[in-house]
Amino acid sequence: MKFVGSVEIEEEVDLQLDELIKDMKEIVLFDDDYNTFDFVIQSLIEVCKHNVIQAEQCTFIVHYNGKCAVKRGEYEKLKPMCTALLDRGLTAEIQ
C-alpha cells in the first residue's frame, strides 16, 4: 500500500487551516475602573451577540485578568463590533 497521496492531502489541508487561522483576529476587551459589570454584560450581549452566561463569564475574566478575547473572526466582521464597544466607552482593540 502506498499512502503518498494521503500525506500530500494532509499537508495541503494543514496549510489551508494555517492560512485560515492566521487570518482570524479577536476583539480583546480590557478592564477599566469606570464601567459597571451590568453595563459590560449588556454591551457584550447587544454588540457581540453573547448569551447572558457567556457575557458574564467574559466580564469576570476581564475584571480578574485585566483582559479577555470576547469575539473571534475576520477583521471586517470584528471592526464594527469593536467600534461599537469603543463608542460605549469600553476599552477594546482588535489583535
42 or 17, higher pLDDT = 42
Measure the CA–CA gap between 66 and 29, rounded to whole angstroms: 8
pLDDT at 3 over 60: no
Mean pLDDT of all residues in the chain? 89
What is the assigned CATH class of domain 24-94?
alpha beta
pTM tops 0.85: no
**Could you write out the three-class secondary structure of the chain?**
CCCHHHHHHHHHHHHHHHHHHHHCEEEEEECCCCCCHHHHHHHHHHHHCCCHHHHHHHHHHHHHHCEEEEEEECHHHHHHHHHHHHHCCCEEEEC
The per-residue pLDDT for 13 is 73
